[in-house]
Structure formats: structure tokens, C-alpha cells
Amino acid sequence: MASNLRLVKSPRKKVGVLIGRFQPFHMIHGVHLTNATVDNDLTIVLVGSANQAPTIKNPFSFAQRKAMISNYANSASVVVLPIEDTGGNNTEWIYSVQTSVKAAVEAEFGDVEYDVTLYGSEKDKTSWYVNAFPQWQKKLMTPYPVGKELSATNLRNILFGQSTENVLKDISTEVPTTTLSWLSEWVKSPEYAARREDYAFIEEYKKTVHLHPRTEVTVDGVVIQSGHVLVVRRANQPGRGLIALPGGFVKTHQTLIEALLAEITEETGLLLAEGKKALDITKDMLRQRIRGYQYFDDPLRSLRGRTITHAFLVRLDDTKPLPIVSGQFAPPEDVGGRTDVVETFEAFWMPLSEALSNPSIWFEDHQLILKTLYAMIKE
């Protein structure tokens, strides 16, 4: 006799994900978390920089931040999990987020199908991750409140930099009552006193660091394709008119690789793709083509003073035509908003035979840099 029983497929679960350092958990975080719990069957809060030693940037441990978040959520449908830093390895970090979400869903519901929505705000460079999960839906909110910057950085500056009598009052409108209650106990602790000492020392150090001999950090790109090296002719002193590798100073907000990719594209106009995302795609392609690295730290290598440069070998596809490049104006943000400052008279592909045999045309030690990194080529 045939059975009338049919297998009923479980409905897809809705999962919300909120990622942050929550140092501390503030009002904007609370809005995201509330939205996520209303919309979903399960909300997963991933707490970054989970197990770092306490500093004024990361003063609260994972357990302390979990307490702030759990006190606010007060819901069994919210799971708070740690995410370790990966030292700038974005691929490894993305993988750890994906595996943590998968494990949390399986622990809650078993082997079910589910849809993920990522909650957050796309406010600045630190929000890059909101675009790192194309398979997830996104529910992004304009930074709140409109017209006012509410950030954990500002809250920490108040916590550690203002008189202890006023700190709780001054942040009371910026954090949930649950966070404020937690902080009211924490500010009585030796741990809080230690962070205030750290903050005072660092602020004072910033004022006096100029008394020490200054060391500059730069990057240089040795970009090679089809027996040619990408070079520029300098438009400014020192070395005006000399041949140089594309490069420049590392800004305070940049990693070495970020500075390298910015300088190569800004000084030569190099594009390896077309369309609205051409610059981003070009930088990604250059990053993938890095084949070698060497630092140059001779104290006398530059007449401008102590300058340590980090040179990177970039090997482009020899089967492709040499990309079009040209001299460029300096980015306005680097020259006080001006748009008429020439940075490089020209950019061009120089045959390696010419570049390696003419030391007199080169700026400072750039030919030595070229020779050193050219020797790293294996193929």
C-alpha cells in the first residue's frame, strides 16, 4: 500500500550578520542589532580583534564586549562570536567569517538552507568588508545620526582623555543604557586607570616625537613587461628631470602595498582595465602580480634625509601590448587642493637594456633598486 506521507522541506532560515570591533558598543551598533533581530531567525554578531592585548584602541576584551552586546540584545536568537585579526590577509579573514557563520547556523538549526543579510554602515575605509561577501544580501544604513559623527574612536577619546568626573555624562547620549551601566562599573577598575595612563603617554609622545631624528618611509615599484621597465621623469626637486621608478611617501593611513599601488597609478596613469571600476581592477591586478620585495635603508641613500624605501617587483603579462602611460598631475589632496601641480613630466616604458646601462640618468639609487629586483626574476 502506497504511503500518503510526503517529505516537507523546512523553510529557509533568515540569518543576520553584524561585524565590528564594538570598542565600545554604541547607539549605531544598537540600531543595526535591533534591525537584525527583528528581520531574522538568528542574528550572529562577530566581534573583531577578539584576543588582542588591551590598548587604548582595543581596550575591551572579547568577553567584555560580548557582555555589552548580550546585555543590550537580551535575546536567545543572538549569538556573539570572536573573530581573530589576520594581519591584513583579507582572504583569510573573509574565510574565517564565512566558516563562523556556517558553524553558528548549524549549531542552532542543524543542516538547513539559509539566507544571510549583512547589516552595517558603509562610512569609510574601515567598512571595506561590507562588499566582501557578494553572496549575502546587505542592509546598510546611513551613518546615524545624520550630520554628526558618532564613532567608537571619539568615544574612546572621551573615556580616556577627559576628566573622570565627566566621562559618563559626556557619552551618555551616545551609548545604550546597558553599555553605560557596564561602563559605570568599569571606570572604577585598575584596568581603566591603566588605559588612561596609556592615553596620556601617547598624547604627550605625539607632541614631542618631532624632537627625534626624522625617518621617512617610501615605496618604489619596479614594474616590468616584455623587456621594459615602467619609469617616470620627475617634475619636481630634488632630481627634477631625472628618470625614476614610480613611487613616493607612505601616508599615515596606508599600508606599504596600498601606497605602492596608489603611487604607480597616480604617477603613470596606468590602467589595465576599462569602465567605472578600472582603477580598482588595475590595483588588484598589480597586487596579484607582485613577485619580489627588498628594502633599501642606507642612511645616506637620499639627500632629503633618512629615508627607507620598500621596493616591489611587479611582473605584468609579456603576451599583452605595453599599456599606455603618461605624465600626471599631482593628486589635489597631496598639494593643498591645487589641480595644476605637475608630478611627472612623462611616464614611459624604457627598454631594460637602456635602463640598466645608463646610471647617469637615474634619480638617487633607483637604478640600484632596479638592478636588485630585476635579479629576482626567475622565469
**Per-residue pLDDT reduced to its tens digit, 184-201:** 999 999 999 999 999 998
What is the rounded CA–CA span in Å between residue 299 and residue 308?
8
DSSP letter, residue 227: T
The predicted pLDDT at position 378 comes to 77
The predicted pLDDT at position 187 comes to 95
Q: What is the band of 55 on the pLDDT scale with cuts at 50, 70, 90?
A: confident
pLDDT in tens, 255-309: 999 999 999 999 999 999 999 999 999 999 999 999 999 999 998 898 788 899 9
Neighbours of 30 (CB within 10 A): 19
The predicted pLDDT at position 60 comes to 96
Q: SS in 3 state form for 13-57?
A: EEEEEEEECCCCCCHHHHHHHHHHHHHCCEEEEEECCCCCCCCCC
Across the chain, mean pLDDT equals 91
The predicted pLDDT at position 130 comes to 87
pLDDT in tens, 225-265: 999 999 999 998 888 899 999 999 999 999 999 999 999 99
Q: How far are the Cα atoms of 47, 123, 162, 174, 277 from residue 155, in angstroms, in the given order? A: 18, 17, 10, 8, 35
DSSP letter, residue 379: -
What is the rounded CA–CA span in Å between residue 80 and residue 69?
8
Are the beta carbons of 37 and 73 closer than 8 angstroms? yes
The predicted pLDDT at position 206 comes to 78
- What is the grid cell recorded at 110? 542543524
| CA end-to-end span of the chain | 71
Are the beta carbons of 37 and 45 closer than 8 angstroms? no
The predicted pLDDT at position 162 comes to 87
Helices (H), the chain: 27-39, 62-73, 90-109, 152-161, 167-171, 177-186, 190-208, 256-268, 278-288, 352-357, 366-374
Cell 617587483: give the residue: 313
DSSP letter, residue 124: S
The predicted pLDDT at position 160 comes to 95
Dihedral of CA atoms 353, 359, 360, 365 in degrees, nearest 10, equals 130
Omega prior to 145 cis, within 30 of 0 = yes
The predicted pLDDT at position 51 comes to 79
pLDDT in tens, 13-38: 999 999 999 999 999 999 999 999 99
pLDDT in tens, 150-162: 789 999 999 999 8
- What is the grid cell recorded at 202? 601617547
The predicted pLDDT at position 110 comes to 94
The predicted pLDDT at position 52 comes to 80
Among 160, 183, 165, 184, which residue's Cα sits nearest to residue 55?
Answer: 160
For the segment 323-341, the average pLDDT, to the nearest whole number, is: 93
pLDDT at 147 over 60: no
The predicted pLDDT at position 165 comes to 82
Q: How far are the Cα atoms of 120, 191, 261, 285 from residue 288, in angstroms, in the given order? A: 29, 43, 11, 5
pLDDT in tens, 89-120: 788 899 999 999 999 999 999 999 999 999 99
User: Does the reported pTM lie above 0.75?
Assistant: no
pLDDT at 44 over 70: yes
